[in-house]
Amino acid sequence: MNRATDAAVEQQPAKETEDRQFDVTAVLGRFAALIFLIVLGTAFAILEPAFVNPINLFNVLRQVSVYGLLAIGMTFVILTAGIDLSIGSLLALSGLVVAAVEKGSTGLLTGAAAGEASGYPLPVAILAAVIVGMAGGGLQGLAITRLRVPPFVVTLGGLSAFRGAALVFSGGQPISAFSEDFRYWGQGFIGPVPVPVVIFLSFAVLAYIVLRYTRYGRYIYAVGGNLEAARLSGLNTDRLVASVYVIMGFFAGLSGFVLAARLNSAEQVAGLGYELTVIAGVVIGGTSLFGGEGGIFGTIIGVLLIGVLNNGLTLMNVSSYYQQIIIGIIIVFAVFFDQMIKRRQR
């Protein structure tokens, strides 16, 4: 009897230690991106004091706002175990559309300066860009659900097709010199906060509410967690999968407008390579590439982490070539770490 009691006492500390290790693993799995962001920000603040200058911090936020908008849409897509490689091209096409509608055909043909073109009101121009983005996303969603073509292949085709459409639409020429009202949405401020940051955070809050507190959000997680089980439960999985690509298209259209307003120019090369940065931000933020896990809060942290990393390395005069290498390595380790945490929890 005493031996049994002694054995139980000896085993109890081991069990408590195991529980503590499990808790640490769970915390790291949930907050790794946030912890890394804090450590990275602290390191840059020590190594380069200019990093913590309020002007620089707001500049970081402004730089990541377009990526952030795209990352919100990408979060919906990846939660369903999908992917969208066409976002940069669709952004460029939408940006050219909003520019053309705002300036009008006369302004485009004559190269008129801002205020001299006979275009449509700004809300109509923005609506046109969003419609183009949603139409492009919807077409890809239909190809994925109706034709049963994998998302990777469909959106890889979209990457080329939408970029070609942008070239055809503009004749290979950029569109620039917009009105002050147009530029305000990319260059203006609300108090000390840049307008693009306000737009990004507003849609981030809206997306967070949709995913966390609505039936639609629960359905998205269910589809990503187990597509077949969701279908057998009575969900219209095809419609749900197609809808996330429409949402992605909406954010591509909106981002095209914000980027054109910020740069005072819409170009065919806009958005090149954005898909890498956006997917990296979402994955680093904890959204699983296999679907069903993650959320908007993690996406915001992931996008901010990439923005802080790029900005800090730039302040330290590190070549942009090395920055791309670092981001690529971080993506691989983020997925590896995610899988390692899941294995330990199981």
Q: Categorize the per-residue pLDDT at 218 as very low, low, confident or very high, splitting at 50, 70 and 90.
A: very high
Q: What is the mean pLDDT of residues 111-136?
A: 80
Helix (H), strand (E), coil (C) string for 285-303: CCCCCCCCCCCHHHHHHHH
Question: Is the pLDDT at 6 greater than 90, yes or no?
Answer: no
Element (H, E) at 129: helix 122-146
In the CATH scheme, what is the code of domain 20-345? 1.10.3470
- How far apart, in whole angstroms, are the C-alpha atoms of residue 90 and residue 160? 10
Mean model confidence pLDDT for the chain: 86
* Residue at 182: amino acid letter: F
Contacts of 282 (CB under 8 A, 6+ apart): 71, 74, 75, 78, 294, 299, 302
223 close to 233: Cβ distance less than 8 angstroms: no
* Tens digits of residue pLDDT in 177-202: 898 999 999 999 998 899 999 999 99
| Greatest alpha-carbon span in the chain | 98
* Tens digits of residue pLDDT in 310-324: 898 888 888 877 877
Q: What are the extents of the domains in the chain?
A: 20-345
Whole-model pTM over 0.85: yes
Question: Is the pLDDT at 115 greater than 50, yes or no?
Answer: no
* Tens digits of residue pLDDT in 20-44: 444 566 666 677 788 888 888 999 9
The pLDDT assigned to 114 comes to 43
The pLDDT assigned to 24 comes to 64
Q: Categorize the per-residue pLDDT at 254 as very low, low, confident or very high, splitting at 50, 70 and 90.
A: very high
* Tens digits of residue pLDDT in 73-103: 999 999 999 999 999 999 999 999 999 999 8
Q: Categorize the per-residue pLDDT at 286 as very low, low, confident or very high, splitting at 50, 70 and 90.
A: confident
* Torsion, Cα of 298, 301, 304, 309 (10° steps): -110
* Percent of the chain clearing pLDDT 70 (strictly above): 85
Question: Is the pLDDT at 109 greater than 60, yes or no?
Answer: no
Q: Categorize the per-residue pLDDT at 9 as very low, low, confident or very high, splitting at 50, 70 and 90.
A: very low
